[in-house]
Structure 1
Amino acid sequence: MAAKDIRILSEGDQQIVEFVGEDREVVSVRLSRRADNDDDAIRDATSLLVRMSSAPQAANDHDAKGGSPRESLEAEQRRQATSNENADLDKALKDTFPASDPVAATSGAVGVDHRRPSN
């Protein structure tokens, strides 16, 4: 299905990204945290869809392990929380100065002479 339209909805502190096909079929992805902007939300949702489609066994993981759907959901939520922490670290790293900037060896503060003046 090629996406004809992409909608981004807000629900509390979560976002839902909907990919709408030409025949009005919809694939929704609920993000567990808000992205900084629409482009990031679309990127996060697309990344999740790619990861899930490349691991079809994950959809029925609870059947293979004998766990319940609830246990499978909780395991996926834990995995997403870890992934979100990694995404936060990646964003923080991206927002830092480029690696080509040298580390400052001195501070920008002006020094003050605290010695007593001799009279």
Structure 2
Amino acid sequence: MHVVGTQVIPEQGGRAGFTVEFVGEGGEVVSVSMRNDESRSLNRLNAVERAKAVMLELANADISTPEEGTKSEVKSHRSARMTGDKDEMERQLDEGLEDSFPASDPVSVTASTIPTDRAKKH
């Protein structure tokens, strides 16, 4: 897989952890979800390196395949983006917006106090 991009997605503003998505040139997406510890040492800056370490551990793990006729215990799911689940994507967007509020100064509305010539013409 040739990685063409990565995306770091905070869970509850990063307090709960992060999901790192590695995107391949053929449209493949590999997601690694990591929970934050009590010291909150996982952050946006080190999430990609930690996700790489998790995948390296997985690649080197001794995973036995289930014997024929037995039920596999491995569960997988596709991301909301890959399945086109608009409701889930909206929920994630709302959660991200709530967790980042207030991210910037509030919108200000001002009215001009500069007089115009309209009053003089009447």
* TM-score normalized with structure 2 length: 0.44
Higher helix share: 1
If asked which structure has higher relative contact order (CA below 8 Å, sep 6+), I would say: 2
* TM-score normalized with structure 1 length: 0.45
